[in-house]
Amino acid sequence: MILSGKLGEDLSIEDVKEATIQASLNAIAAASAVCGDPDKIIKVIKVGVFVASSPNFSEHHLVANHSSNFFFPCLEKRDVMHVLQWVFLLFL
């Protein structure tokens, strides 16, 4: 785990950006391990983002978009149009 705490309570959006990138890199690494080569990844179908946040935090989309936007330069020239799902919970 890179960070612990709740967004909007213990953590700011800036705090979670690095963790978001690391989680996205982990997803690419996992897919690469299955394919045997990152160049064999041809499409991103869905990006799911789960974040623990305080009840009064309302900028969830900024966290999810940061993760989603990370895939575009990493997987250039491939189909990265995808469904973006974000789930924000009081506890993870």
Sorted by where each starts, the structural domains of the chain and their CATH numbers stand as 13-89 (3.30.1330.40)
Output the CA torsion sign for 37, 40, 42, 46. negative
Give the range among 14-23, 28-37, 63-72 with minimum mean pLDDT.
63-72
Query: Could you tell me the two tokens for 29?
Result: 């690494």
**pLDDT tens digit string along 41-73?**
877 778 888 888 899 888 888 888 888 888 777
Over range 22-32, report the average pLDDT. 89
What value, to the nearest 5°, has the Cα angle with vertex 52 and ends 12 and 60? 60
Percent of the chain exceeding pLDDT 90 equals 12
Over range 2-25, report the average pLDDT. 89
Q: What is the pLDDT of residue 12?
A: 93
Bridge partner residues of 83 (DSSP):
46
Q: What is the pLDDT of residue 86?
A: 64
Q: What is the pLDDT of residue 84?
A: 65
Mean pLDDT of the chain: 81
